[in-house]
Structure 1
Amino acid sequence: METVVDYTPRFEFGRVMQRATGAISRNGIAFLVLAAIFAGLPALGLGLLRTEAANAPIILLSGLWGLISSLVSIIASSVLQASIVRATILDLSGGRPRIGPCLRQGVRLILPLVGLSIVFGFGVGVASIAFLIPGLIVATMWSVSVPVLVEEGEGVFASLGRSRELTKGARWQIFGMMLLYGVALLLFGGLQIIISQALNGPELLALLVQAVGSAILALCWSAVTAAIYIELREIKEGSTPDQLAEIFA
């Protein structure tokens, strides 16, 4: 009896990580600048604002602080992720990403990106009310919605639906990557506490450590998200990075 060999392309964890780390290493300065502007500085500024608010009447500032914090975080993280997604796809297609054009791409899509972030957060939050697992499932299904919106020009809900389709059959692997990211967040949080206590320095030092960590982690996850999207497009549709890059050439 003749053996049938399955040549169906499969989602490769190692290939995704290799692409993400390769894009970061080749564009370290540009990526770090974007991360510093849209993750590090907002984290530092919001931390200082939170410190000032703690010394003022809480009743008056708690609502305002929450609104400002949420709005700044959503806008900054949306622009950063969109810019890194675009830059990563350009890099993997053999191009040389430049900060200006990639940043303009993120700013141009700011309204749908903010809308997507709000719907994403609301959907995951509602799914997590009963138990944590449904929320994780929803987050995994929608994990590449930002690359879809940036590269395919879909609307908010169409991007979420497209992400759900692309992630079918690879959700366990994607969940594993999300889990690793969550562990990295926990480890960095512990490291931040250790450094702050060891140096016994002013609160500004702790905020600086937090800002640097926020920038690095946000940068890494944005690049990984783009690499996941490319991997899914390749194994499901045969689309190569250079074909994806031509969309906004």
Structure 2
Amino acid sequence: MDRNADFGGFLGQAIDLVTTNSRASLLFIAVVGGFNAFGLMMGLIDGNDSIAGIGFGFSIDASEGITAALYQLATAALSIVASYFLLMVLLASCGRLKDRSTRIWAYIGMSILTVLGAVLGMLLLIVPGIILLVRWSAASGFLIGERAGVTESLGQSWEATRGYSWPIFFAFLVLIVGFIVVAGVIGGVAGFIGSDLIIAIASSAAEAAGSVLSLAFGIGVYTLLHDDSQQVSEVFS
């Protein structure tokens, strides 16, 4: 289905990618969410490290032991690797995966750069961090789908999203707010039941589902803004 590169297009494309690749999305939630839920149940992960299913990543404080630190590191590593393979599936489903050979290390490097840039931007009155997240939203598509370099992918995403910042921002905002409402209802039901196991599973599944939506949204932005018609014509010329 052809979509316009606007608010509705970005939102619809992300939802379509998740529903079209529901099996891979559910597998991601089961694996990453399950690993996280086990850590919560065993006291190896602090439940306060996430809000409404949006995780803040790997963190250690002085009160945590080496076992907890290693488990959190393993959780972060699993999340990154699972994210990479989910991105490959999303790109392949829309015919944008040119090569299946791994670029996991480049993806890890770009993820670190993106997080550092966003965090630094957030410290500078928040707005610069939001701008970076919006303008770099399509970078994973260029890195994995087009096999561009790390800085090249960030640069291509910056150029591709030029003039589309507001519709990307509002589409992602609506997607996340809607998700937070649903996750809040599920969390409320889990809290009402009062079972530690159910609460751990619900919060971990919500966090993993938030990651799926975020990854799909980035690929949706990439597929709507990246024009590969020239590359296709070069192949058949």
TM-score band, normalised by shorter chain: 0.7 to 0.9
C-alpha offsets along residues 54-92 of structure 1, whole Å, 9 cap, x if unaligned? Answer: 8xxx7452677457525632x333333332332223222
* Partner Cα separation in structure 1 for residue 211 and residue 45 of structure 2: 26
The structure in which a higher percent of residues are helix is 1
Is 1:15 aligned to residue 18 of structure 2? no
Q: 1:40 aligned to 2:33?
A: yes
**Identity, % of aligned pairs?**
20
Structure 1 residue matching 2:148: 3-state secondary structure = coil
2:201 corresponds in structure 1 to 208
**Equivalence map 1:19-34=2 (5 Å):** 19-34=13-28
1:224 to 217, 223, 228: 217
What are the ranges of 5 or more consecutive residues in structure 2 without an aligned counterpart?
47-60
Query: Retained in 2: the 8 A contact 1:145–1:159?
Result: yes
**Residue 82 of structure 2: which of 80, 89, 112 is its match?**
80
Amino acid at match of 1:90: A
Root-mean-square deviation (Å): 3.2
SS in 1 for 2:5: coil
Further displaced range: 205-214 or 64-73 = 64-73
Structure 1 residue aligned with 2:142: 148
- Aligned equivalents of 1:28 and 1:135: distance in 2? 31
- For 1:212 and 1:139, how far apart are their aligned partners in 2? 24
Shift of 1:185: 5.1
Distance change >3 Å, CA 67–CA 26, structure 1 → 2: same
Q: Post-superposition shift, 1:172?
A: 0.9
Residue aligning to 1:92? 94
Counterpart among 172, 184, 189 of residue 190 in structure 1: 184
Q: Distance in 2 between matches of 1:33 and 1:149?
A: 23
User: CA-to-partner distance for each residue in 1:163-197, whole Å, 9 max, x for gaps?
Assistant: 11111111111111221243245335533541233
- Residue 213 of structure 1 and its aligned partner are, at CA, apart by 1.4
Aligned residues: 216
SS at match of 1:31: helix
> Normalization by structure 2: what TM-score?
0.75
| Selected match of 1:159 from 136, 150, 153 | 153
CA 1:44–1:83 in 2, change beyond 3 Å: closer, same or farther? Answer: same
Q: What is the identity, as a one-letter code, of the residue corresponding to 2:137?
A: S
Name 1:4's counterpart in structure 2: none
Contact 1:24 1:31 in 2 (8 A): yes
Look up the match of 1:110: 104
Would the aligned equivalents of 2:6 and 2:168 in 1 still touch at CA under 8 Å?
no
Equivalent residues of 1:32, 1:219 under 8 A apart: no
